[in-house]
Amino acid sequence: MKLLEIEALQTFYGKSQALFGVDLAVEEGEAVALMGRNGMGKTTTIRSICHLTPAREGNIKFAGKDITRMRPHRIARLGIGLVPEGRRCFPNLTVEENLLAAARPGKWTLSGVYALFPRLKERRGQYARTLSGGEQQMLAIGRALATNPRLVILDEATEGLAPVIRHDIWRAIRAIRAEGQSILIVDKTLSELLPVADRCVVLEKGRTVWTGAPDVLDAETQQRFLGV
């Protein structure tokens, strides 16, 4: 069953058009890697899904419902857990308070999140503002999971982090996948990204230009659209 279905999405920032026709689907239980060079529209696609930068044309369906014009909090409540670029948490709440504030019933419990990120457990009483960048990213992922979303969206979750922290976050992403969690993920580290993805969707200048399994993402396509 299709969990997320996007057709012919067009999004603008004021008069400037960023998306010209994005098509994308995520099946229930699937991990989809949203790819493309800098500025090709990955973050804008994610912002459009969550209605943070609403789409002007096209449509977005989630779990069978049209969410194209739905407000962000209603979209979140329907079951989309966003981990945005820039890892937002409540700075003046502790780690545990941040997680509990997000929590909704389901398979991802507080102890499940702590098992995924033991560092968060060690720092459960610490204010979020005192965490390192990497720990804040773990908390942002933990918060998204604590809402027990049907779909988790990760936008550059490992960007700018130290190698050991990146390693921990990728391990957590693999564990989340092993639980069958549906995810839509943007990340520049292809060597980590491709093994967790069931399918890749490549954007070029605000359009979907390639879709397929990671093992058929050939060198020419990578060179042409991803610059690798």
Q: Answer yes or no: are the C-beta atoms of 22 and 42 closer than 8 Å.
A: no
Q: Which is nearer to ligand ATP, 12 or 127 (CB)?
A: 12
Q: Which stretch binds ligand ATP (CB under 6 A): 37-45, 67-75, 116-124, 171-179?
A: 37-45
Among 13, 91, 107, 223, interactor with ligand ATP by CB under 6 A: 13
Total residues contacting ligand ATP by CB under 6 A comes to 11
Site string for ligand ATP, 44-83 (x = CB under 6 A): x---------------------------------------
Rg (CA), the chain: 17
- d(CA 192, CA 167) in angstroms, rounded, equals 9
Q: Which stretch binds ligand ATP (CB under 6 A): 36-44, 54-62, 113-121, 144-152?
A: 36-44
Q: Which stretch binds ligand ATP (CB under 6 A): 2-10, 34-42, 122-130, 217-225?
A: 34-42
The DSSP H or E segment spanning 53 is: none
Query: Any contact of residue 15 with ligand ATP (CB under 6 A)?
Result: no
Tokens of 213: 């399994």
Site string for ligand ATP, 88-127 (x = CB under 6 A): ----------------------------------------
Tokens of 60: 């977005």
Q: Where are the alpha helices (DSSP H) in the chain?
A: 42-49, 72-78, 95-102, 110-116, 118-122, 133-146, 163-178, 190-196, 219-221
Query: Any contact of residue 227 with ligand ATP (CB under 6 A)?
Result: no
Minimum distance from residue 71 beta carbon to ligand ATP (Å): 20
Query: Any contact of residue 16 with ligand ATP (CB under 6 A)?
Result: yes
Listing DSSP states for 134-157 in one string gives HHHHHHHHHHHHHT--SEEEEEST
Q: Which residues contact 18 (CB under 8 A, 6 or more apart)?
A: 11, 12, 41, 44, 206
Residues in contact with ligand ATP by CB under 6 A are: 13, 16, 18, 36, 38-44
